[in-house]
Structure 1
Amino acid sequence: MFDGYIFTDNTLTNVEVDGEVIGFEMRTRIPYYRGVPLSMVHDVEVEVDGEPVPRGDIRFTADDGGHWWTLTEMETVTFFRWEYEDEAVVRVLRPGGLPAGEHEVLLRVSARVAYIPVPFSGEMRRTVTI
């Protein structure tokens, strides 16, 4: 239902910090029609060219980089909400980022909501060129 919002078009880019490419990131929207506390984000999964990214290499922010969390840290973040109208950023830590060329990237985001017994998910696969 919300798959079309999961991986914002033309947002995947390598990330450079202090002159070093530390990984890559993309923007996403919540796969639900309301905002949720970050503790209700069940999972964020990324695959690149068919290879899953380890969970520990994924970082998440819902305030344009003001606060970054690991997925494990997010499990306890009840004071910060990801609102429906806000794009979040999913960052993958990977020294050197993605090499130049074409890549197939899958982004899957799942959230728990109070009255649905299973996580509510959305996913999108895009072919991107770096």
Structure 2
Amino acid sequence: MMYEFQLIQSTGFRNHGPQGARDGFELRLRLPNYRGMRLSLLDGIDVTVDGEFFGHEVNSLILHGETYDLEDIRKATAVSWAMGDFGSVFVPKAGGLAPGIHHLKVAARVRSPYFPPHLQPLPVNGERLATIILP
């Protein structure tokens, strides 16, 4: 699979959970930094779909097969997100999303150890159209 420049990748946008019992949706992201980073430097990911906002406090990150809520992310000082590794954001939403084209916006809240604390976290923003298809 090719590593795309855009934060929101063109594949990996799908509903989560079995058909008839969807509990949310996921979208695939590339690393929101120009080099690898410790997961604890990420302060969550805000997601907006078709104008509906889902805050970083409720979204989870799936990385290397593990799921991290915001508290887990903040404690994950030994977990690295390397260049070329994909992560997925899980957004809880009963029923998931309707099939069709959706307007996605993402703000990955990144803390940089060399920036002053009052300037952090810095959002890394992405936006694109993506499609949910029937299974």
The letter for the 1-side match of 2:115 is I
Q: 2:68 matched to which residue of 1?
A: 69
CA positional deviation for 1:19: 6.5
Q: Distance in 2 between matches of 1:43 and 1:20?
A: 26
Provide the C-alpha distance between the structure 2 equivalents of 1:5 and 1:116, rounded to a whole number of angstroms.
24
Distance 1:55 1:109 in 2: 9
2: distance between equivalents of 1:21 and 1:129?
16
2:43 aligned residue: 42
TM-score by length of 2: 0.80
RMSD: 2.2
The percent of aligned pairs where both chains have the same amino acid is: 30
Structure 1 counterpart of 2:127, from 112, 125, 128: 125
Q: 1 CA distance for matches of 2:124 and 2:52? A: 19
Report the equivalent of 1:101. 100
Which 5+ residue runs of structure 2 have no aligned equivalent? none
Q: How far, CA to CA, are the matches of 1:113 and 1:56 in structure 2?
A: 20
TM-score, normalisation: structure 1: 0.83
Aligned residues: 126
Deviation readout 1:29-53 (Å, 9 max, x if unpaired): 1221221111110231100111211
Alpha-carbon distance between aligned partners in 2 of 1:54 and 1:45, rounded to the nearest angstrom: 5
Say yes or no: does 1:59 pair with 2:80: no
The answer as to whether partners of 1:30 and 1:109 remain within 8 angstroms in 2 is no
- Using CA pairs under 8 Å that are at least 6 residues apart, name the structure with larger relative contact order, 1 or 2: 1
The CA distance in 2 between the partners of 1:91 and 1:82, in whole Å, is: 17
